Each structure stands twice: as structure tokens, then as C-alpha cells.
Structure 1
Amino acid sequence: MARWSVLSPHEHEGVPLTRAAAEAGVSTRTAERWLSAYRRHGLAGLAPTPRSDRDRRRIRPELVTVIEALYLKRPAPSVATVHRKVQEIAAGKGWTAPGYTTVRSIVRALGDPLVTLAQQGTKAYQQAYDLLYRRESQRSNGIWQADHTELDILVIDPEGKPARPWLSVILDDHSRAVPGYALNLCDPSALNTALALHQAIWTKTDPAWHVCGIPEVLYVDHGSDFTSRHLEQVCADLHIQLIHSTAGKPRGRGKIERLFRSVNQLFLPGLPGHLVHGVQTSVPKLTLGELDGLLHAFIVGDYNQRRHSETGEPPQQRWDAGGFLPQLPERIEDLDLLLLTVPAPRVVHRDGIRFQNLRYLDVNLAAFVGEPVLIRYDPRDLGQIRVFHNGTFLCTAICQDIADATISLKDLRTARDRHRRQLREEITARHRLVDELLAVHQAATPAPRPARKLKRYRND
């Protein structure tokens, strides 16, 4: 320190102050001031003191306001643009123009929240700086979230053309486990939501995937598929509380957005047809069904089993914790209300129900030939359809051409004979009733008098 070198050790060695100041490279007046401060306050007196005008800009307050106002315009101007305009304004007013460095320091002191609101608008500000109310469920199946995303991959559609699929996902808020999803080539719709929710609620055929049940709350945004009256009715029937996020502010739903990032970043890279920033990196080869199979394996075997960085537990393990029993509908037919695609009412023909150029048959249809029915189906599995008659579930009809199950000719003949026998019994019962009524009527009617014999003449 130059100040200390002036005073020590010269002060104790009888060295003149002028010589010590000359050796330190300072003026004698400065050395005297330092010596006086040292004698009064010790070493603390030699510490540098801040300038009284530190952090004060030597610029007119009006120009500071002008600089801030110019920079807080949309579209965002550069600092150089603001500097040039300020120089013009200062010259017109006869003021001293600030330098570029001063303008830049004033701009940087504005703060990111103010700049974001002014230059990018309210939405950007809310996304970055608004305080969020984050919903948190304390138990599995307490809150489920539902949303859609367009995947960064191309698949081959039924016509052989590349297409970008949509993923609809149901996510358990507490565990982060995925109970259901749906892949489609069409834009998000009520059908996609219904299929994903149907799969999420009902038990799975895969024993490794046992996330299921009816949630207490379904948390969705304001998409048209989530605001349909049908979905509201379904939630009311299943006693699910339907909650929509604030319109135009789908924030607080980062958990499901994080799942979408995991799918796009961990699952899709390396697959044929993967898109990187919208650019195709390889030739698409997968069909939608093949991608569905791979995604099923990723969700069940990887995502649901991997330790989650926020909860510290694998989603499947966290969902299982507590040993609770999920609430389920009594029958899977009760969930068919969620299948929003309902074709025009069909008629049961002698060869079954015709739908999508396929023929569906079940032995229970033998009693309804010629009757109008309503069918519901899963577009991902056209091997079977569910048949309703007058609002009541009738049977599950299968297409033997694509389904694993078959109906034997013996079963069909048995059903036909049984129905024919029932019809004959009804006919016989009606005939018997008529005969009984006629017999009672005849017994109640008096017998007619015998006709008088016609008198004849003697000569006849």
C-alpha cells in the first residue's frame, strides 16, 4: 500500500516526510494528510474513502428519463440507436450529450422485468415473473393432468405419406406416473382425450403397468376438447372434479410439459424420422402402430421406473406407496361413455353388424336381427365393438377377420335355435291364451234352441 509505505518504517527512522513522499511518488501535501489520518485513526484512517458523488451520473435527470423511455419501446431498439437519438435531443436543447457508455449503463440499470414487460408484452412478463400458484396433490390419483403435444418425429400414415403425430397424455400429479396416453395423426380432439382417459382409468393388460383408477380432480386447459359438455357429463357421472387452468395462462402445468420434454429428448432421438428443430434427420420408417408400441415400452419400462429428479422416487413406486386401492368403475362398459366417436346407429343384419367394411358378430345378436343398435369402439382396436340397444349394453361383437377370438358355427347355431325356440314358445303361449279366452267365452254363451220342425201338409 503506497500510504503505508510513506509512513513505515520512515516515521520511526527519522526520515524527512518530503523524502518519504518523493520515494512513494506522491506530493508532500498528500503525505501530510495521510500522516495526520494515521495519527488520529490508526490504519483505519489510511483506508480509501468512497467519493461523495459515487454512483451519481453527471447527466441531466431529464436525459436519463429520455434514455429510459426510448429503450422501453417496441420493437426493442439497440443501445446505439438510443444513443444517437439522445444526442440529437441534447443538441436541440443545448444540453451536454452523454456518452455511449453512460447510455448503456442507464439501459442496463432498468432491470429485466421492466424491459420484458415493455418490449415483449404482458404474456411474456407473466410467463417469466408472475408468482405462480402451483397445485400439489398429496396422494396418488388425487389430481390428474391432461394435455396434448405434437411430437418431433414423422411416421408413415395409412396412405404411405409422412405425417407428424400428436400425443395426448394423462399424468398423475403426485407420483408423475403416466396412467394413459393416446397417439393420433389428427389434431387434438375430444376423441384423443377420451381414449387417453379411458386407458388411464381402466386396468391394463400389461402387468408392469398398474397405474389406474378414477381421479378426484382432472386438471386441464381451455382447449375445445377439454371444455366439451360431454367431458363435463362424464366427469359428473364418475364423480371427477373438472378444473380448468386460467384462460390464456396455462402456467403451473410444468409437470406435464416436463414429461413432453422427456419424450422428445429421451425417447425420440435415434428413431427414424426424428425432427431436430423442425429439420428431418432421417427417413421416416415407422407406422403409427409401431411408434405406439415403442412409446408403450418407454413409458412403462423406462419413464415410470426411472428416479424422478424432483420427487426423488420412480413414478411407479411413488404411485404404489401407501398401499391404497384405486377406485374403479364396476364395468368397463361404463367407461364407453368416454368414447366420443359414435357412428350412426347400425342395424343388426342376418350376418351381423356391418361397420368400416368389416362384419361383427356375437351370439347375443341372434335375438336382435332387424333391430337398430348403437355401437361404440376404440379406433386403435377395431377387432371388437360394443353394442348398445335402447341405451343398455347388449354385447361385445367381434370381427373374426382381425380379432383373436372367434365364434364357432356350433355356437351360432345354438344361439339361433335358442332364439327360434323362444319365439315359438311366445307364439305357443299366445295361441294358448287365445284358446283359453275362446273356451271361456263359449262356456258363458247359452246353447241355442233347437229349430222347430216345419209342418207339412197331409198330401205332401
Structure 2
Amino acid sequence: MNKEQEEQKGQAIMDFRYSIIAELLNPYLSRTQRRALMREKANRQYQIPYSNRTRITVECIKKWYAAFQRFGKEGLRPKQRLDKGICRALSAEETAAFLEYLEHNPELTAKAAYRKLRDGGVIHTEISKSALSRLVLSAGLQREQRMHSKEQRQQLKFAFKYPLECVQADLMYAFEVPDEKGKRKRTILLAILDDATRRVVYSTFAFREGSLAFEYGLRHVLLSHGRIGKIFVDNGSAFVASETVRILSILGIPLIHSRVGYAASRGKVERYFRTVRDGFLRPLDKDSVRSLADLNARFHTWLETEYHRSPHRGLDGKTPLEAWLEKAHHIIHLDPTVDLDEIFKHEIRRR
């Protein structure tokens, strides 16, 4: 795991820990209420970053809470050993070759992968079983995690059954339009696409591509349609912000990032963008577009009258709207007690 990956791992773990204790920081909670809330959180199951565990103990929650009270959010960042991830038995080249081979062959055990590379002359160094295990663990490439990643990719390769069970989100760059001051700016289309029905649950043009636009789209989907099972995105800056991760952690929505080299797993939203280019942008008289609002008005008209009502080959000839309505009874609506206004508030640090 390189320095950037270590930083991402530390950030993900810190954000997860913060999402667990965020409710406990309410100054109006009594000590009894805070203890009860800790016990309640310890009884839940979680998707813990970089871990196979699904539960957290009360003592662990207390430790995180105390660390935050003493050191702030940075106190939740996992401590790293200075020699972590360094394999003294293998050379840097052998280590890199082994980890790459292991990642691309998740069905193999670490020992089997090592033997294959040794037999093939890629690795020449002897290494003990314990040293090999430590190397795999430090890289986060245990067989269970590798197989889980493979299953996620295979699962996302096929269509989900029900609306909002999984959505895909991505960005597409478009052409320039005048802003409020008449200056021409490039537009970016954000799309959130339902995997099962291909219905576009949110899509709009904007001048910016930051995480706030993505969060606004998610909030729209939650309020207008219902609960999201999981979200599949790439590693673009709009989808990796710590506040976005915190929000989704509180809501219990897994955010799955596609790995480099597996862009095909986002194929549905990519095909949607091709349809937008061919069906909307290409015939559009771009010089006649007066503003961003004008562009969005035309686009949403096309989206509802053309895209959602056109037969889709991946839906056995049904339209996205027909597929959505056919299975709409499976949608799980958001609990009315969930305060989205509070959850979507951003943390501001004052210096």
C-alpha cells in the first residue's frame, strides 16, 4: 500500500469512527442517554472500512468518543507503525510483483501465489509463512477481502432486481454556456442512475463538479424517491470528500468505488452518457442556449419525454419508466424521523 493509499485508508477509518460517535457529541444528551446510545450502536451491524468485522464494542465506542473529546477529529485517525508494510525478506520489486499478482488472482492463497511467482522466476527470495502473512495483512489483501471485492464487481456486472437497490453516479463534461454575467463556462452533467431500471433519478447540468452537487443530488433522491441500497462511483474528487463519506455513513449507505482498470462495471451510466450525447447534445442548437437554466429546462424535457419513454434493450424492450413503475412497490421509503437537514450539515472548523 503506497503513501496515498495509506492516507485514503486512514481517512476512511477516521470518517467511519466519526460517523459512529457523531450523535454522541450532542451537548444536550445526559450521561444516561449517551450510555444507552452507545449500547444501541454496539448492537448494530456495520460495513467497517478495511475490516471483516461487522460489530463494534461499547468499550471501542467509548475509546473513540474520548479520543475525539481530547484531540478532535484527528484523534480518530488510526496510528501507523513506521515500518508497516515493509517486507525485509523480499526486494521492493519482488514485493510489488507479488502484491499485484495476488490482487489480480483473488482466488489464490498468498502461499499459492508466492509459489507460482517463485516457480516462474519472478521471485528468487525465500520467505517465511509468517512474513508472507504480515505482508498480505499490511497491504489489506487478505483472501476474504479480495474475494469480496471480486464478488462486488461480479454483482455490479449484472442488473439488480429492484429500484434503488443500487444506483450509479458519474460526471460528464459538456459544452460552454453563458453564466449570469454573460461569461461562457463549461458545463458538467451529474447523473445518478438506477441500476435495475435505468431510470435517471437525478441528472442536471452545473458549472461545478464538487461534492456539494453530488450531495444535493443524493438528498433529492432520498426525499423524492426513497432509500438507496448502495452507490457505485469512480474515484473522482466529487465522490471521495470526507463530509460525503460521513453523511453516507450516518445514513448507512455503502459507497463503493470502482477500481482502476474496472471502468466496465460503471457501464450503465456510461451508456446513458452516450445516449445523452447522441440523443440530446448532438441535435441541440448550442448557440441558441441562453443560460444554464435554459439548458437544464431543455434537457429535463428530453429526459422525461424521450429517454424515460424509449424502449431499452437491456430491459427486454421496456422503457425505463415502465420498468420503474412495475417494481416501484419494492422501494423502501425513508424513515420520516430521519432529519436530512441535520445529517447533510457540513462541519466547519474555525481557526
Query: TM-score, with normalisation over the residues of structure 1?
Result: 0.39
- The alpha-carbon deviation at position 334 of structure 1 amounts to 2.7
For these two proteins, the number of residue pairs brought into alignment is 195
- The alpha-carbon deviation at position 337 of structure 1 amounts to 5.4
Q: Which has the larger radius of gyration?
A: 1
Contact 1:182 1:192 survives alignment (8 Å): no
Give the match's secondary structure for 2:318.
Answer: coil
Aligned with residue 162 of structure 1, among 184, 189, 194: 184
1:307 alignment partner AA:
P
Aligned with residue 146 of structure 1, among 169, 185, 190: 169
Is 1:299 the counterpart of 2:303? The answer is yes
Contact 1:329 1:335 survives alignment (8 Å): no
> 1:159–1:321: structure 2 CA closer, same or farther, 3 Å change rule?
same
> 1:324–1:182: structure 2 CA closer, same or farther, 3 Å change rule?
same
What's the C-alpha RMSD, in Å, of the aligned pairs? 2.6
**Aligned equivalents of 1:154 and 1:173: distance in 2?**
30
- The alpha-carbon deviation at position 185 of structure 1 amounts to 0.8
Contact 1:143 1:219 survives alignment (8 Å): yes
Spell out the pairing of 1:230-309 with structure 2 (5 A cutoff). 230-247=243-260, 249-273=262-286, 283-309=287-313
Is 1:182 the counterpart of 2:169? The answer is no
> Residue 441 of structure 1 corresponds to which residue in structure 2?
none
Contact 2:159 2:196 survives alignment (8 Å): yes
Contact 1:216 1:240 survives alignment (8 Å): yes
> Residue 226 of structure 1 corresponds to which residue in structure 2?
239
1:184 alignment partner AA:
A
2:252 alignment partner AA:
H
Which string of whole-angstrom CA distances, capped at 9 and with x for unpartnered residues, describes residues 311-366 of structure 1? 12111111122351522334598333575778999xxxxxxxxxxxxxxxxxxxxx
Contact 1:155 1:284 survives alignment (8 Å): no
1:147 alignment partner AA:
D
> Residue 212 of structure 2 corresponds to which residue in structure 1?
191
- The alpha-carbon deviation at position 306 of structure 1 amounts to 1.2
**Aligned equivalents of 1:296 and 1:342: distance in 2?**
33
Flag the structure with higher strand content.
Answer: 1
Give the match's secondary structure for 1:298.
Answer: helix
Which string of whole-angstrom CA distances, capped at 9 and with x for unpartnered residues, describes residues 114-134 of structure 1? xxxxxxxxxxxxxxxxxx841
Contact 1:138 1:174 survives alignment (8 Å): yes
> 1:162–1:139: structure 2 CA closer, same or farther, 3 Å change rule?
same
Q: For CA contacts below 8 A with separation 6 or more, give which structure has more relative contact order.
A: 2
**Aligned equivalents of 1:332 and 1:156: distance in 2?**
41
> 1:219–1:270: structure 2 CA closer, same or farther, 3 Å change rule?
same
Contact 1:191 1:340 survives alignment (8 Å): no
**Aligned equivalents of 1:310 and 1:242: distance in 2?**
24
**Aligned equivalents of 1:196 and 1:267: distance in 2?**
21
Unaligned 5+ residue runs, structure 1?
1-131, 204-211, 274-282, 346-460
Give the match's secondary structure for 2:321.
Answer: helix
**Aligned equivalents of 1:332 and 1:198: distance in 2?**
15
Contact 2:247 2:344 survives alignment (8 Å): no
Spell out the pairing of 1:30-179 with structure 2 (5 A cutoff). 133=154, 134-151=157-174, 153-179=175-201
Unaligned 5+ residue runs, structure 2?
1-152
Which string of whole-angstrom CA distances, capped at 9 and with x for unpartnered residues, describes residues 274-322 of structure 1? xxxxxxxxx3532001111111112222211211122121111111223
2:325 alignment partner AA:
D
Contact 2:193 2:269 survives alignment (8 Å): yes
Spell out the pairing of 1:423-434 with structure 2 (5 A cutoff). none
- The alpha-carbon deviation at position 234 of structure 1 amounts to 1.9
- Higher alpha-carbon deviation: 132-141 or 230-239: 132-141
Is 1:327 the counterpart of 2:337? The answer is no
Query: TM-score, with normalisation over the residues of structure 2?
Result: 0.50
1:145 alignment partner AA:
Q
> 1:299–1:326: structure 2 CA closer, same or farther, 3 Å change rule?
same
- The alpha-carbon deviation at position 157 of structure 1 amounts to 1.0
> 1:156–1:284: structure 2 CA closer, same or farther, 3 Å change rule?
farther
Sequence identity of aligned pairs in percent?
A: 27
Flag the structure with higher helix content.
Answer: 2
Give the match's secondary structure for 2:329.
Answer: coil
Give the match's secondary structure for 1:225.
Answer: helix
**Aligned equivalents of 1:182 and 1:172: distance in 2?**
15
1:233 alignment partner AA:
R
Give the match's secondary structure for 1:271.
Answer: coil
- The alpha-carbon deviation at position 174 of structure 1 amounts to 0.6
